Structure 1
Amino acid sequence: MPSSPHPIVINPDHFLQTESGRVWTPERSRIAWQQSYDALRTVISAASDDLRNWTVVIVCGLQGAGKSTWILKQPVRPGAVYFDAALPAARHRAPIIEIAQRANAQVEIVWIKVPLPVALARNSQRKDDEQVPETSIQSVADLFEEPTTAEGAATVHIIEA
């Protein structure tokens, strides 16, 4: 795969974008998640490198935690694919880990950990069509399970931002 000056990032929100901004409905969300899983499979299957050198980096945390910003600040890692989403519980991270493991790719989990008030404040600064309802962020905070290597990741990093 040719190198890029930008990291490879898969984010379900990207599949919700339209010409007039982000549009969310339950059905569009379901489709966006399926497209994200398909995109991950495609990136990994198109890899010409030895897949044992590939790493799927799951970047999780509250909406507004700074996941996307953190990813953009990382140096480009050849063979790394970042999956950027809230993913509050092990069951939410499991499909991504399964896809990676089927391809013999390594898995890392990065939890961007921020207090709920910080995430809410950052969310309020987003463009209107990209703001997440506060009740949704609160729900993710209530559901959040600290990621562990028992989920199938080689490493788990906690970034307090």
Structure 2
Amino acid sequence: MNGIRVIDPDAVLETGAGRIWTPERNAEAWCQAFAALRGWLEAGTVARLVVVCGLQGSGKSTWIASQEPEAGTVCFDAALPGARHRAPIVALARSYGVPVAAVWIRAPLALALERNSQCPDDRRVPAESIRSVDRLFEPPGTDEGFVTVRIVEA
């Protein structure tokens, strides 16, 4: 990335042999993501948290990489389709007095599926998982506790 601190649960799934997903590894990835966020919050090094959400393959990581680094900004990079998925992240940051913004990378399902199909086999998300996130997706709103919500069209 470009100097922006990023929390990406999928990064924990990476191994020397590629990305390996199991339910247990996925649960551990989320535990590590929350531990990293909590650690940075406790250290007082987070001035602003940006939750970057959207379909797998929408371009979340690419968007984050294109941003100018801003001191104290942390991006949480994950699909996070519903308010219930985003709520623990928002609550944790707000408990430390850190404002949370949302960026929704809005991509048509067909585009996300096409981009995903071009990924290496070990990084490809099952198409049904992307369709499931698309069905479940609730646009983020300020009523969830975000100070701002930005929509980026993919």
Pairwise TM-score range, normalised by the shorter structure:
over 0.9
Q: Give the AA of the match of 1:43.
A: W
Q: Give the AA of the match of 1:47.
A: G
Does residue 91 in structure 1 map to residue 84 in structure 2?
yes
Superposition TM-score, scaled by structure 1 size: 0.93
Aligned residues: 154
Does residue 21 in structure 1 map to residue 14 in structure 2?
no
* Equivalent residue for 1:122, pick from 115, 118, 133: 115
Cα distance change on mapping 1:127 and 1:8 into 2, 3 Å = same
3-state SS of 1:158 partner: strand
* Equivalent residue for 2:139, pick from 125, 129, 146: 146
**1:54-65 equivalent positions in 2, closer than 5 A:** 54-65=47-58
Superposition TM-score, scaled by structure 2 size: 0.97
Query: Deviating runs (4+, > 4 A) in structure 1?
Result: none
Aligned to 2:28: 31
CA offsets 1:66-85 (integer angstroms, 9 cap, x no match):
00000000000111000000
Distance 1:24 1:155 in 2: 33
3-state SS of 1:145 partner: coil
Q: Give the AA of the match of 1:150.
A: D
For structure 2, the 5+ residue unaligned runs are none
Distance 2:2 2:89 in 1: 24
RMSD: 1.3
* Deviation for aligned residue 1:45: 1.7
* Deviation for aligned residue 1:47: 2.9
* Deviation for aligned residue 1:5: 5.2
Cα distance change on mapping 1:77 and 1:116 into 2, 3 Å = same
* Equivalent residue for 1:45, pick from 42, 47, 61: 42
* Deviation for aligned residue 1:127: 1.3
Percent of residue pairs bearing the same amino acid type: 53
Aligned to 1:107: 100
3-state SS of 1:59 partner: strand
Distance 2:109 2:119 in 1: 16
* Deviation for aligned residue 1:104: 0.6
Distance 2:2 2:33 in 1: 21
